[in-house]
């Protein structure tokens, strides 16, 4: 699988830095030794912890380029703003007096950062167009394996794979001339896939029907393998690793 562009990781590292900044602020404010991380974490308030965990969660979503960011980012502004304003009452007059130089600009800066991330950055466009996340596409292996397809428990039909991936399989088939012409996109199919001696029995969703060849692909069926339990998923992934190393 190709590596994602560095620009899409930068946002995740920014959120990690924001999370680390909380104990660092405690260390500098309380004039602690730089080794006193345990003491710094102990002095964090529950709301500080909530904000810190929020940043870590946002970092995870950013690295995954998850669509949940569209919901999590606006909610994070509420958490950050609340943390900054509550800090004035908890930490006393010194913070109140310096609010215009600390909490206010910090809140405004975070809102500007969110605006850029949600509306102006490359990530914003990718969040709206998941098909552009090419680095998340599982590698496909062109391999011919025997398999049998059945629809609703009947009409067992022998075929061979064109290629195979952890998330799906493409089966060459002259749709409309085979024994069963009743395939429809969205159908649930029973699959018996021969992994060179080990038969994988599972269900798959018929994602697309290609009645004409496209590029290197012949006419056939694109089937999603998204109904595998842990054991079957592990069996498939182990086989794919053997193809990659073989």
**b/e per residue 33-68 (b: at least 16 CB within 10 A):** eeebeeebeebbeebbeebbebbeebbebbbebbee
Alpha helices in 43-189 (DSSP H): 46-64, 69-91, 93-97, 103-115, 122-128
Q: How far is residue 174's CA from residue 169's CA, in Å, rounded to a whole number?
A: 16
More confident residue, 88 or 123: 123
Kindly report the pTM of this predicted structure: 0.59
Q: How far is residue 186's CA from residue 204's CA, in Å, rounded to a whole number?
A: 10
Q: Is the confidence at residue 173, as pLDDT, over 90?
A: no
Q: What is residue 1's predicted lDDT score, i.e. its pLDDT?
A: 46
**pLDDT tens-digit readout, 200-218:** 999 999 988 888 888 888 9
pLDDT band at 17 (very low <50, low <70, confident <90, very high): very high
Q: How far is residue 23's CA from residue 25's CA, in Å, rounded to a whole number?
A: 5
Q: How far is residue 48's CA from residue 90's CA, in Å, rounded to a whole number?
A: 11
What tokens were used for 200? 């994988």
- Between the CA of residue 147 and those of 150, 159, 172, what are the distances in Å? 10, 5, 11
Longest Cα pair distance anywhere in the chain, in angstroms? Answer: 81
Q: What is residue 99's predicted lDDT score, i.e. its pLDDT?
A: 45
What tokens were used for 209? 């029907």
Q: What is residue 89's predicted lDDT score, i.e. its pLDDT?
A: 52
**Is there a contact between 61 and 68 (Cβ–Cβ < 8 Å)?**
yes
- Between the CA of residue 71 and those of 61, 77, 181, what are the distances in Å? 11, 11, 43
**Is there a contact between 114 and 76 (Cβ–Cβ < 8 Å)?**
yes
């Amino acid at each position: 699988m190709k590596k994602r562009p560095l620009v899409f990781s930068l946002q995740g590292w920014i959120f990690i830095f924001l999370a680390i900044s909380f104990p660092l602020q405690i260390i500098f404010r309380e004039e602690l030794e730089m080794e006193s991380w345990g003491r710094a974490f102990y002095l964090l308030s529950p709301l500080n912890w909530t904000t810190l965990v929020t940043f870590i969660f946002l970092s995870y979503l950013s690295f995954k380029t998850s669509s949940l960011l569209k919901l999590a980012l606006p909610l994070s502004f509420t958490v950050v703003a609340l943390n900054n304003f509550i800090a004035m009452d908890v930490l006393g007059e010194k913070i109140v007096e310096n609010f215009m130089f600390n909490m206010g600009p910090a809140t405004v800066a975070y809102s500007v950062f969110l605006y850029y991330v949600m509306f102006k950055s490359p990530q914003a466009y990718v969040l709206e167009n998941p098909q552009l996340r090419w680095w998340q596409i599982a590698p496909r292996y062109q391999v011919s394996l025997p398999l049998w397809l059945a629809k609703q428990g009947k009409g067992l039909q022998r075929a061979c794979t064109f290629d195979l991936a952890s998330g799906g399989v493409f089966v060459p088939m002259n749709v409309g001339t085979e024994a069963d012409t009743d395939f429809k996109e969205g159908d649930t199919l029973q699959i018996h896939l021969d992994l060179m001696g080990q038969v994988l029995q599972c269900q798959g969703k018929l994602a697309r029907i290609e009645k004409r060849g496209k590029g290197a692909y012949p006419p056939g069926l694109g089937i999603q393998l998204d109904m595998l339990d842990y054991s079957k998923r592990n069996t498939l992934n182990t086989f794919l690793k053997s193809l990659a190393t073989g």
